[in-house]
Amino acid sequence: MLELKTIALFFVTAIAEIVGCYLPYLWLKEDKSIWLLVPAALSLALFAWLLSLHPTAAGRVYAAYGGVYIFVAILWLWLVDGIRPTVWDVIGVSVALTGMAIIMFAPRGA
């Protein structure tokens, strides 16, 4: 159950980070309103707070989170940008998620 909660928290954290970065992108590259920077800043603050909720060492959390971030970014590519992931994208995501699982859930000595 703890593993599922950890992965769900990583997933929500990744969405907060991507939204926080995507909104400034829209302002800079797509000529959208500068007011998008307000929810972007809030989203990035939420991202930082969500990362702090993990009970394990920060460095390990950040390293493992990267695997879930890669998965969510490729999902974003497909659902938001409308670009279907390639086989290589799927293979890369699989490797990243495997790495995340090893980092987060491997047995640890006392």
- pLDDT of 59 strictly over 90: no
Q: What percent of the chain has pLDDT over 70?
A: 96
| 66-105 pLDDT, tens digit each | 999 999 999 999 999 999 999 999 999 999 999 998 988 8
pLDDT of residue 5: 84
Residues across the chain: 110
* Continuous H helices in 30-86: 37-51, 58-79
**What is the per-residue pLDDT for 62?**
83
Report yes or no on 110 lying in a domain.
no
Taking the C-alpha atoms of residue 84 and residue 45, their distance in angstroms, rounded to an integer, is 30
Asked whether 31 and 69 are in contact (CB, 8 A), the reply is: no
> Which two tokens mark 99?
């790495």
User: What is the rounded average pLDDT of the residues 50-71?
Assistant: 84
Confidence of residue 43 (pLDDT cuts 50, 70, 90): very high
pTM for the whole structure: 0.85
Q: What is the mean pLDDT of the chain?
A: 91
Within a domain: 41: yes
**60 is in which domain, residue-wise?**
2-105
Query: Which residue has 């290589």 as its token pair?
Result: 88
The answer as to whether 80 is a domain residue is yes
Closest among 43, 34, 40 to 16, alpha carbons compared:
43
Residue 71 lies in a domain: yes
CB atoms within 10 A of CB 72: 18
Counting the structural domains of the chain, the total is: 1
Q: Which residue has the tokens 């940008």?
A: 81
52 Cβ contact list (under 8 Å, min separation 6): none
Is 80 exceeded by the pLDDT of residue 54?
A: no
